[in-house]
């Protein structure tokens, strides 16, 4: 039996997802940002997927942002929080993912947001008393 413990990086896909993606990828290969026929076809597939996901999440499709990776998503969320929403204090831990740490440190270095590292116990849990300080 195979044991896989890096699900934070990537997770095996459900067979239904693989089947659907394979089906679509056979015919839809255009750049979804292009104006040619294949691009428009690809854009339509992306937007249909966005609507389907929004329905499952009970939100508007315009609220969903697709990114190319977890790192891009982390960066976008942290930077938008600081730059667009006025977040001035970022709390994380030193065991956080590098994508989060690097972006948070950069914002701290530039004086955009103050960075605080919450203490972590021997089990990897945040020290809640430290958060109250």
- pLDDT surpassing 80 at residue 73: yes
Residues 55 and 94 in one domain: no
pLDDT of residue 130: 87
Q: Is 43 exposed, middle or buried (0-12, 13-18, 19+ CB in 10 A)?
A: middle
The rounded distance, in Å, linking the Cα atoms of 27 and 42 is: 9
Residues 128, 107, single domain; the answer is yes
pLDDT (0 to 100) of residue 52: 96
- Please say if the pLDDT value at position 8 is more than 90: no
Whether residue 85 sits in one domain with residue 117: yes
Q: Band of the pLDDT at 6, cuts 50, 70, 90?
A: confident
- The rounded Cα 55 to chain-centroid distance in angstroms is 19
Distance between CA atoms of residues 105 and 116, nearest Å: 10
Query: What pLDDT, on the 0 to 100 scale, is given for residue 133?
Result: 77
**Is 103 inside a domain boundary?**
yes
Instruction: Please list the helix, strand and coil fractions of the chain in percent, rounded to the nearest 5, in that order.
Output: 50, 10, 40
Split into its structural domains, the chain has a count of 2
Higher pLDDT, 12 or 90: 90
């Amino acid at each position: 039996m195979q044991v896989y413990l890096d699900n934070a990086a990537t997770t095996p896909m459900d067979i239904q997802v693989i089947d659907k993606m394979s089906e679509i990828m056979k015919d839809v290969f255009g750049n979804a940002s292009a104006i040619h026929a294949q691009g428009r076809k690809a854009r339509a597939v992306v937007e249909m997927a966005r609507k389907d996901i929004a329905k499952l999440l009970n939100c508007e499709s315009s609220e969903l942002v697709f990114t190319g990776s977890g790192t891009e998503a982390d960066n976008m969320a942290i930077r938008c929080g600081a730059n667009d929403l006025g977040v001035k204090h970022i709390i994380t831990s030193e065991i956080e993912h590098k994508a989060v740490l690097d972006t948070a440190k950069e914002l701290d270095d530039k004086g955009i947001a103050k960075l605080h590292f919450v203490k972590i116990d021997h089990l990897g849990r945040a020290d809640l008393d430290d958060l109250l300080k």
